[in-house]
Amino acid sequence: MLYRPAILFGCLLVAGSSFGQDSRQPIVIGETSTIESRILGEPRPVYVATPPSYDEGTQRYGVVYVLDGDTQFHHTVASAQFLGNFANQSIPPLLVVGIGNTNRMRDMTPPSELQEDPFLAQGGADQFLRFIVEELKPWIDENYRTGEYSVLVGHSLSGLFALYTFISRPDIFDSYLVIDPSLNWNNQTLVEQAASFMESDPELDTSLYLSVSSEEGPEFEGVRRFIGVLNSPSGLRSLLAPIVAESHDSIPLPGIYQGLQWIFSAWSIENEAETLFSDAPSEEIFGDIDDLYRQSGEQFGLVRETPYLVFESLLGYLAENDRLDEAAELTLRYSDRYPLPLVPNVIAGIAQMFIDSGDEEAAVSYLSNVLEIYPGNETAQGALIDMGLDLPAK
């Protein structure tokens, strides 16, 4: 079923080097595979990018499935990795799967009473959806560490397909990110189907983000009509997001970027976490913060712990409120989760704050405890030497 060559997407970073040696290396963002589809009767290209943290453990990841993968894959990967990086953490780290085209008009269009183009096949959306459900998604689940949450992204004609999937099989994906869909297809029949779907008051647990450009024209009448029939049945979270100064062709990049932010808006809770800082025991505060992050992850079928930057903020709060001993204890207690050798500034900072407060004995005790956990830690050893003390015997 599968041909998986060692072909990598990437570009070359050109850098100067001494002695005239060529030091260029590829910047790899993913890999390409080919699935031999029994349903479609043809090979289909698939592009997959894993998040930077993928090879570091056993964590599972949500998946963003991107239609028109030939053109929309690269910038979607860039947006997902930027928003999900260590500094931002606006969204969870995600797998991005681009689905390449072979016959776009055929695959992205629902059955139609009209022959829109006499030279192109059309109306194959049901078969293409079967390919995604029965072949592509199981293959991705088998070959990558996927979580439960998935998003379907489509623009223009593939936006039409995404909305067709939403009203015909809404349970297939957890969220739909739709950009300037071609709803004029088949005299806007999908709009009528959407109206019936909404009137049926379906039970949903789905998010729908609909982004539209500022480009005017008769082809966008279907979008306006769809907006008119869109209501909020139980379990549907939806947003219409016009993006001004963008054309139909330029909107995918900002639409996907902003759509991912909206879909995963419940992920970014740093400000909420800091409201839990209080006079309560530090272990209790940290437990409440951990619960908050665990719950935010559960919404997307993911296991989530308190990010390091929030942990560090808690340490700072404790230190500033004359609770330095509690801050020091937290760093030691959770050293497995937040390894101290990776944050030498925390070791040196806590020791120096003890010294500045006149409690050199506490500083020595803290540094000695660090060395018990991490024998040979250079930061702790250096701090003890700077204090004129001998290092603990090994």
Q: Please say if the pLDDT value at position 275 is more than 60.
A: yes
pLDDT at 219: 60
**Structure-block tokens of residue 156:** 């223009």
Give per-residue pLDDT as tens, 248-262: 999 999 999 999 999
| Nearest to 261, CA basis, from 380, 84, 3 | 84
Query: What pLDDT score was predicted for residue 9?
Result: 36
pLDDT at 19 over 60: no
The secondary structure of 131-187 as a DSSP string is: IIIIIIHHHHHHHS-EEEEEEEEEETHHHHHHHHHHHH-TTS-SEEEEES--TTHHH
* Mean pLDDT for the stretch of residues 304-323: 93
DSSP state letter for 64? E
What pLDDT does residue 8 have?
36
- With beta carbons less than 8 A apart as the criterion, state whether 95 and 64 touch: yes
- Integer Cα distance of 137 and 169 in angstroms: 15
CATH assignment of 2-267, among 1.10.3720.10, 3.40.50.1820, 3.30.310.160, 3.30.365.10: 3.40.50.1820
pLDDT at residue 2, rounded to an integer: 43
**Topology of domain 270-386, per CATH?**
1.25.40
Greatest pairwise CA separation for the chain in angstroms:
87
- What pLDDT does residue 12 have? 35
Q: Would 2-267 and 270-386 be classified into the same CATH topology?
A: no
What is the average per-residue pLDDT within 222-231? 82
- Give the H/E segment covering residue 211: strand 206-213
> What is the average pLDDT value for the chain, to the nearest integer?
89
pLDDT class for 354, splitting at 50, 70, 90? Answer: very high
**Would you call 24 exposed, middle or buried from its count of C-beta atoms within 10 A (0-12, 13-18, 19+)?**
exposed
Residues 6+ apart with CB under 8 A from 167: 190, 193, 194, 197
pLDDT at 283: 96
Confidence of residue 7 (pLDDT cuts 50, 70, 90): very low
Instruction: Give the mean pLDDT of 39-45.
Output: 97
pLDDT of residue 343: 84
> Global pTM?
0.86
Helix (H, G, I), strand (E, B) or coil at 204: coil
Task: Render pLDDT for 118-167 as a digit per residue (tens, 0 to 9).
Answer: 656 788 999 999 999 999 999 999 999 999 999 999 999 999 999 999 99
- Give the residue-averaged pLDDT of 369-382: 91
89 torsion bin: left (phi>0), alpha (psi -120 to 50), beta (else): left
Read off the pLDDT band of 185 (50, 70, 90): confident
* pLDDT value of position 86: 79
Angle at 157 between CA 155 and CA 159, to 5 degrees: 40
Q: What is the pLDDT of residues 65-90, one digit of tens each?
A: 999 999 999 999 999 999 998 778 89
Q: Is the pLDDT of residue 340 over 50?
A: yes
What pLDDT score was predicted for residue 114?
A: 66
Predicted local distance difference test score (pLDDT) of residue 253: 98
Domain range summary for the chain, segments of one domain joined by + = 2-267, 270-386
Question: Residue 238, CB half-sphere, CA atoms under 13 Å: how many?
Answer: 18
The conformation of residue 62, written as its DSSP 8-state character, comes to: E
pLDDT of residue 115: 62
295: confidence class by pLDDT, cuts 50, 70, 90? very high
Q: Is the pLDDT of residue 296 over 80?
A: yes
Percent of the chain, pLDDT > 70? 91
